[in-house]
Amino acid sequence: MMADNTHQSRMIKKKSVMDKKIAAATQERGVLILLKGNGKGKSSSAFGTMARSLGHDKKCAVIQFIKGRSETGEYKLFRDHPLVDWHIMGHGFTWETQDKTQDIAAAQKAWSVAEKLLQDDSYSMLVLDEMSYMFKYHYLEIAPIVTALQHRPKQQNVIITGRTMALPLQDIADTISVVRDERHAFRLGIKAQQGIEY
Ligand code: ATP
Ligand code: MG
């Protein structure tokens, strides 16, 4: 009995703390979410959140700044969705090419697509996948991108993924989640597989 009472009074206290926090969150606007860190789960989390928006019939766009090695499962699933625009940019941007001029041109092209979408309030969500590498390698300037993000439509949500995140993006973000690499199957000798990695 004693234990139950203690539990109940703790829960009542917790509820009142939560209720106050909920009452204090009154703003309604889109958020900038950054998903960073070396662990697995950034892009898949971004696409999962996009699926959540699509479930509510909200229009979304994806811009992939680096093209992966194959058609991913998420691309095959979403490309024909009437509310999704999917732009695969950065063709040829790989560790193998090392063609800096070509990479910079690809980065700028990807940004010019993103910049337009950041002015279009019909899009509820933009996923800028692997965008953070563009700053790491100095392929894009950060200042105009910060400005464009700050001036985007008020209700528009933006998710940026990438292992390392530029500090100016962190300064203006609303939510930052770090996916930490504690273990990865690859280091256990397990091959990348369809449906998990791509
Ligand atoms: P995912 O797309 O699975 O959510 P991610 O976006 O967090 O992964 P990236 O840094 O974009 O990870 O790397 C993309 C690819 O590398 C994915 O196939 C992913 O499974 C794999 N990967 C991610 N983290 C690691 C890691 N720590 N070691 C080895 N491979 C990884
Ligand atoms: Mg990724």
- The response to whether residue 153 sits with its C-beta less than 6 Å from ligand 1 reads no
- Give pLDDT tens digits for 5-60: 788 888 888 888 888 888 888 889 999 999 999 999 999 999 999 999 999 999 99
Q: What local confidence, expressed as pLDDT, does residue 2 receive?
A: 54
Q: Which of 33, 35, 36, 40 to mutate to test the pocket of ligand 1 (most atoms within 8 A of CB)?
A: 40
In CATH, what number does 29-188 get? 3.40.50.300
Query: How far is 165 from 73, CA to CA, in rounded Å?
Result: 25
Report the distance separating Cα 13 and Cα 116, nearest Å: 48
Burial, 163: exposed, middle or buried (Cβ in 10 Å; 0-12, 13-18, 19+)?
A: middle
Tell me the helices (H) and strands (E) count for the chain, helix number first.
7, 6
pLDDT tens per residue across span 118-147: 999 999 999 999 999 899 889 999 999 999
Between 105 and 95, name the one with better pLDDT: 105
Q: pTM for this structure?
A: 0.90
- With vertex at residue 67, the alpha carbon angle to CA 189 and CA 133, rounded to the nearest 5 degrees, is 85
In terms of Cα–Cα distance, which of 65, 50, 180 is closest to 126? Answer: 50
- For residue 197, give the ligand 1 atom closest to its CA: 18
Burial of 43 (0-12, 13-18, 19+ CB in 10 A): buried
Contact residues for 164 (Cβ-Cβ < 8 A; gap 6+): 36, 132, 133, 136
Ligand 1 in reach of 179 Cβ (< 6 A)? yes
Hey, what are 162's tokens? 């990438």
